[in-house]
Amino acid sequence: MKKYLAEFFGTFWLTFGGCGSAVLAAKFLATEGTTPLNLGIGLVGVSLAFGLTVLTMAFAIGHISGCHLNPAVSVGLFVGGRFKGADLPGYILSQVVGGIAGAGVLYVIASGKAGFSLADGFASNGYGEHSPGGYSLVAALVAEVVLTFFFLLIILGSTDQRAPKGLAPIAIGLGLTLIHLIGIPVTNLSVNPARSTGPALFVGGWALQQLWLFWLAPIVGAALAGIVYPLMAGKPDQAD
């Protein structure tokens, strides 16, 4: 239960912090006298926020649960031989519930402002007309598979027992920041089914209809990385 609680709170923090930065802070308009000011953090700030949620939680709960915070990560680690299959259902359930709870608290806060509307997307992931940049289903599918694949390579490599010790949270947090910088214009970037499920449940409609892609693509990308990394890196006693 300690591991599952850690995954719940970690995924809550990722969803609340990352999606919260997009919903509450990406665009923030103010005025100084008669001069309009845009004080929002923009795409770069949102990307950094997602990375920081993982970096901070990796230090906070990594020693408890491994800090997966993502069903795709758990699947990729399982395929790569780093995670027990018996724990997989409990991890995924904890992550999804944490993502929903994080989105729920964000909704309570965001809806306290006049003019708030779920029609603005609530940081949901989408393709086609619901892609921030108008990217197609195929483009979204390829982006999510490829970016999740490389995210898992970073995780598997930085947590390898042959890698420098104590630096994995930094590599993983910066890796997540980088893939958000690439992928937000395409899909609002998921690479995480739990993060996608939370906001989609509140938006409903198109967000739920397109949610399948943000489960399928990250899991496929993560599983591929779980296969490729051991082939590339070999076992510790095979290292050069």
* pLDDT reported for residue 71: 98
Residues 6+ apart with CB under 8 A from 153: 225, 228, 229
What 3-state DSSP class applies to 98? helix
* pLDDT reported for residue 235: 73
* pLDDT reported for residue 236: 61
Report the candidate in 67, 172, 188, 88 with the shortest Cα–Cα distance to residue 135.
Answer: 188
Complete domains list, the chain, with CATH = 2-233 (1.20.1080.10)
Nearest-5° angle of CA 186, CA 135, CA 209?
90
* pLDDT reported for residue 239: 40
pLDDT tens digits for range 60-105: 999 999 999 999 999 999 999 999 999 999 999 999 999 999 999 9
* pLDDT reported for residue 76: 97
Residues of the chain with pLDDT under 70: 32-33, 236-240
